[in-house]
Amino acid sequence: MSLNKVILIGNVGKDPDVRYFDSGTAVANFPLATSERGYTLANGTVVPERTEWHNIVVRRDQVAFVEKWVKKGSGVYVEGKIRTRSYDDQSGVKRYVTEIHADRIEFYNTGTRPADGTATNAGTGFQQGGQPQATQQATSYQQPVSQQPDISTDSNSADDLPF
């Protein structure tokens, strides 16, 4: 009788940290920022913007995808679960850290670009490819996909409404 579900859309704070273990497994970690827009109440009270930072943990097949494509600034969609783990800090004091263990990661169209100006649009990367490996990764994400192609050219136009 339990459900532990998290859905996040936000921006990656820095390039993922990927670690490989002797067992052959791998883990990727990166911070993800979600922001609530600030607003002003009717009574004049100003509620400022608020940014939340999430620790994303990625395992298994998605590690390779993350290592290759997810960069600082990337806009990503993350589905997963909340997990809090504890550890003893330098002083021997028990500390807790809450992480989001991702079950699914996709690029999200934010129109952002990495620092070097290269498009991070996964769709482009995957589909222009000639990179079978990347393509394969993509399919494992169901909707490989990523940042939608330039929303300004978005064909979600209402011209072909079926009703």
- Residue 4 binds which of a copy of itself, DNA, none (CB < 5-8 A, kind-dependent): a copy of itself
Looking at the Cβ atoms of 86 and 156, the one nearer to DNA is 86
- What CA–CA distances, in Å, run from 41 to 34, 35, 37, 48? 22, 18, 13, 11
Taking the complex as a whole, how short is the minimal distance between the CB of residue 37 and a copy of itself, in angstroms?
Answer: 4
- Residue 7 binds which of a copy of itself, DNA, none (CB < 5-8 A, kind-dependent): a copy of itself
- Residue 91 binds which of a copy of itself, DNA, none (CB < 5-8 A, kind-dependent): a copy of itself
Question: Which residues would be at the binding site for DNA (CB under 7 A)?
Answer: 1-2, 10-14, 31, 33, 35, 37, 49, 51, 53, 72-73, 75, 109-112, 121, 147
Taking the complex as a whole, how short is the minimal distance between the CB of residue 13 and a copy of itself, in angstroms?
Answer: 4
Taking the complex as a whole, how short is the minimal distance between the CB of residue 67 and a copy of itself, in angstroms?
Answer: 15
- What CA–CA distances, in Å, run from 109 to 20, 40, 73, 130, 149? 29, 28, 12, 22, 7
Asked if 141 and 126 touch (Cβ cutoff 8 Å), the reply is no
Closest by CA to 8, choosing from 108, 143, 121, 140, is 108
- What CA–CA distances, in Å, run from 22 to 1, 66, 87, 101, 157? 36, 20, 22, 21, 51
Looking at the Cβ atoms of 111 and 136, the one nearer to DNA is 111
Residues 6+ apart with CB under 8 A from 60: 25
Per the structure block, which two tokens stand in for 16?
């993922």
Taking the complex as a whole, how short is the minimal distance between the CB of residue 141 and a copy of itself, in angstroms?
Answer: 7
- Residue 142 binds which of a copy of itself, DNA, none (CB < 5-8 A, kind-dependent): a copy of itself
